[in-house]
Structure 1
Amino acid sequence: MARLLVVATPIGNLNDLTPRMREALESCDLVAAEDTRVTQKLLSHFDLKKPLISCHRHNEDFRAPQLIARMLEEDLTVALTCDAGTPAISDPGHLLVRAAWEAGISVTPICGPSAVATALSCAGFDARSFAFFGFPPREKKALCEALTAARETGIPVAVFYESPHRICALVECVGSLWPEALVCVCADLSKKFEWILRGKPEDVLQALRANPNVEKGEYCLVVDFSPLPAPVPAQPAASAPAQILEQMLAGRSLEEAAEIVGARGTARNEVYRAKIAVKRFLERDDG
């Protein structure tokens, strides 16, 4: 009878491969891998010889039905893996898993490493309620919007993945929006040169910039919003000048307040006009 084994793999330290993971890889007929080259190295390390087929984000939509049909026809047991960690969590795999369920194929999770859970465990934040947002947008405005949306969910802890070239920008953006938040930056979890930073965004950012190897490795950022006041739902009717004044009352400069309002989606020309209006209002008030 056809079976799909969803097999987690080590996120850095090969000693984290459990006997159950190894048994799954030994017993399967075929491995569906995110990157066959990466999974081949893992199999070779443990002297396992299995046929591999690629199943990644760019081919999963058509590879999944092909593989399901083959599994049913040949009664195959397939092990689904990603490059590191647990498949279908910010990695390919969910389309194949969904197709297996829809075809009546048994799905068995072989649990193991997850960078999200590992980062949460060492952050020291109350993670009874948390949300994982994967990789945030690259562009600054979209990044600020994504972070603000995460905050406005009311969920106290947020987890993000980030590339080494953008981790400083991500922490800087968190700090510009919420200086009193707490962050935990985890680099290369479980690997030889693992390192972890925890504290206020400004302090963590300074430590990141002081590290000559900051643009190497893989990063996971955990943000704790609990030190902040409860988020106030956005008021859609609030004008741009009113939003700028609200930010200035929180201690930000006119320029900083305007930038935050723009990051929330207000048109650039509207922000500019609002900034001029606020400036004139303040000058008149001073006079």
Structure 2
Amino acid sequence: MIILAATPIGNLGDASRRLVEALEAATVVAAEDTRTTQRLLAALGVQNRPRLIALHDHNEKQRAAELVELARDEDLLVMSDAGMPTVSDPGYGLVVAAVEAEVAVTALPGPSAVLTALAVSGLPTDRFAFEGFVPRKPGERRTAFEALVREPRTMVFFEAPSRVAGTLADMAAVFGHDRRGSVSRELTKLHEQTVRGSLTELAAWADAGVRGELVIVVAGALAVAVAFPDAVTQVLELVRAGTRLKDAAGEVSAHTGHSSRELYQAALAVRG
């Protein structure tokens, strides 16, 4: 069978007994980075030295069929560098191929940056949406956030430290400056930190520079209490009072939950 094995996201003490036992017994391991896996084996004191096969974003499509066939005859342990394989990491394509080939798939649960950041965020945890890595390009990033303006569930994102300030600024502009959020960095590690506040406050904090692995959690949208036509009217009133159309659409979007882009386009159509 194929065994998806969760690995520590920082603290080696989070490695489960089942993970160590699986590594001791494994004959073959498909690893996102074989060097990282070798270091993990040494750090956990595992004496076994299984055959390591690289499985990453650039070769998964080509290797999936081969690995599925291998898993028919012996257990294949699948590991990413940190956390659960397939969750913003390699492995999804392999699982799909295994399911289609009727090869059994199971998992060894373990650390999750998504759930850990959500749990400590101070935001609602009963319903949430994991959005993965934020798009790199500012235009694509804004478009992605626009599509989530009305999302009522708490949202979880991954982001690189070099881009987090710009991302939080865009989130504040699209979701609303007062929307609540949190940024967790270096989860389970020595310098673990979670900062909570409005998206504007978080953007100002990140502007000074942030290091480490990051997870952003953003509160979901409140229920829309203003009908869309009335929201458009509010936009037009602000414009008549001297506010730029783009800014007016953003301001009304922040307190009604309607998309600023849709408000902008509707108000533009009314103005002719």
* Both structures adopt the same fold (TM-score exceeding 0.5): yes
Counterpart of 1:257 in structure 2 is 247
Q: How many residues align?
A: 259
CA contact 1:248–1:257 (8 Å) conserved in 2? no
Counterpart of 2:63 in structure 1 is 63
Q: SS state of the match for residue 150, structure 1?
A: coil
Counterpart of 1:90 in structure 2 is 88
CA contact 2:79–2:85 (8 Å) conserved in 1? yes
What's the % identity of the aligned pairs?
35
Q: Identify the match of residue 31 of structure 1 among 22, 29, 33.
A: 29
Give the letter for the 2:57 counterpart. R
Counterpart of 1:245 in structure 2 is 235
Q: SS state of the match for residue 151, structure 1?
A: coil
Counterpart of 1:17 in structure 2 is 15
CA contact 2:123–2:181 (8 Å) conserved in 1? no
Counterpart of 2:168 in structure 1 is 171
Distance 2:143 2:238 in 1: 19
Distance 1:252 1:204 in 2: 29
Q: Identify the match of residue 217 of structure 2 among 222, 226, 232.
A: 222
CA contact 1:55–1:63 (8 Å) conserved in 2? yes
Distance 2:157 2:204 in 1: 20
How far residue 112 of structure 1 moved from its aligned partner, in angstroms, is 0.4
How far residue 44 of structure 1 moved from its aligned partner, in angstroms, is 1.6
CA contact 2:16–2:110 (8 Å) conserved in 1? yes
Q: Deviations over 1:225-257 (max 9, x none)?
A: 35x44387989xxxxxx69936947x9941643
How far residue 93 of structure 1 moved from its aligned partner, in angstroms, is 0.2
1:67-216 aligned at under 5 Å gives the runs: 67-72=67-72, 75-152=73-150, 154-177=151-174, 178-210=176-208, 212=209, 214=210, 216=211
CA contact 1:151–1:231 (8 Å) conserved in 2? no
| 1:246/1:191 CA distance change after superposition, 3 Å | farther
How far residue 122 of structure 1 moved from its aligned partner, in angstroms, is 0.2
Instruction: Provide the TM-score with structure 2 as the length reference.
Output: 0.83
Give the letter for the 1:136 counterpart. V
CA contact 2:235–2:249 (8 Å) conserved in 1? no
| 1:252/1:158 CA distance change after superposition, 3 Å | farther
How far residue 147 of structure 1 moved from its aligned partner, in angstroms, is 1.1
Instruction: Provide the TM-score with structure 1 as the length reference.
Output: 0.79
CA contact 1:145–1:265 (8 Å) conserved in 2? no
Give the letter for the 1:39 counterpart. T
Distance 1:220 1:69 in 2: 36
Distance 2:61 2:195 in 1: 38
Structure 2 unaligned regions, length at least 5: 254-258
Give the letter for the 1:193 counterpart. H
| 1:105/1:258 CA distance change after superposition, 3 Å | same
**Which stretch of structure 1 is more off in the superposition, 138-147 or 186-195?**
138-147
Distance 2:178 2:55 in 1: 42
Counterpart of 2:53 in structure 1 is 53
CA contact 2:238–2:248 (8 Å) conserved in 1? no
| 1:233/1:15 CA distance change after superposition, 3 Å | farther
Give the letter for the 2:158 counterpart. Y
CA contact 1:30–1:50 (8 Å) conserved in 2? yes
How far residue 223 of structure 1 moved from its aligned partner, in angstroms, is 0.2
Distance 1:171 1:198 in 2: 12
Give the letter for the 2:219 counterpart. D
Counterpart of 1:239 in structure 2 is none
Counterpart of 2:256 in structure 1 is none
Q: SS state of the match for residue 133, structure 2?
A: coil
| 1:46/1:62 CA distance change after superposition, 3 Å | same
- Supply the RMSD in Å over aligned alpha carbons: 3.2
Distance 2:69 2:237 in 1: 57
